[in-house]
Amino acid sequence: MRDIARLPVTFSLILACVLVYAGVMALAVASGIPWTVALVAQPPEILIGGSLVPELVAEGQVWRLLTSMFLHSGLTHLALNMISLYFLGYFAEATFGRGRFLAMYALSGLSGGLAYLYFGAFDEPAVGASGAIFGILGGVLGYAVRRGSFSWQNPVIRQLLILLAVNLFIGASIPNISNTAHIGGLVGGAAFGWLAAPTVYSQKKLRAATPIAILFALEAALLAVWYIYLA
């Protein structure tokens, strides 16, 4: 209970992902799929309703950049992402504060989605919170660079770099995992962490909101460019 009170955003995001997973499972069972099957692997024919498919985004379904962040392909996918979200959120939410942490998560997820639009398969779906979760990791690293604490000798930074290398290796080794979205989320999070570092201890709301506005404007511009030239 103490952790929930200390990390309300982290636990709210975890709860949202779990509830969405349960909702998809309920739809699967209602369509005749045994619950034991739906629990382990979410049906693609239901996931496609909210997954990120560049071809469908090109038709105007831009909301898929958001909905895909709360969908997961299976129980293992969900569990690994939620465990990672908890451990990274445990540090990052306390460091950045609730509002900035939520903004970093959302903007990193969008950044991962944009990377998939630009460099992913045009007609293949992608789901998962991992782009946003990589963004949390990137945010801490970007923050450390701006604050001058980025060093292999820093035990937190060292552990995060090792975690990053392991996860990128896993993403490159296992089929159906999009390192494109992972790297996109990582870059977006790092940019947010670097921009937000000078404002973390500021009590001025306008100054605190500036990094959020800058990154959101940049992502909106990238989405517009994709629609104009690539969609």
Mean pLDDT of the chain: 92
- Tell me the residue range of the domain where 160 lies: 2-229
Hey, CA dihedral for 199, 128, 31, 18, is it positive or negative?
negative
The answer to whether the pTM exceeds 0.85 is yes
When divided into structural domains, the chain yields a total of 1
∠ CA(226), CA(16), CA(119), 5° rounding? Answer: 20
User: How confident is the model over 99-125, as pLDDT tens digits?
Assistant: 999 999 999 999 999 999 999 999 999
Give the dihedral of Cα atoms 88, 68, 109, 112; nearest 10 deg.
110
pLDDT, average across residues 121-142: 95
Which positions are annotated as active-site residues? 130, 182
| Distance (Å, whole) CA 222 – CA 62 | 13
Provide the pLDDT for residue 5. 75
Provide the pLDDT for residue 43. 94
pLDDT, average across residues 157-174: 82
Q: What is the CATH number for 78?
A: 1.20.1540.10
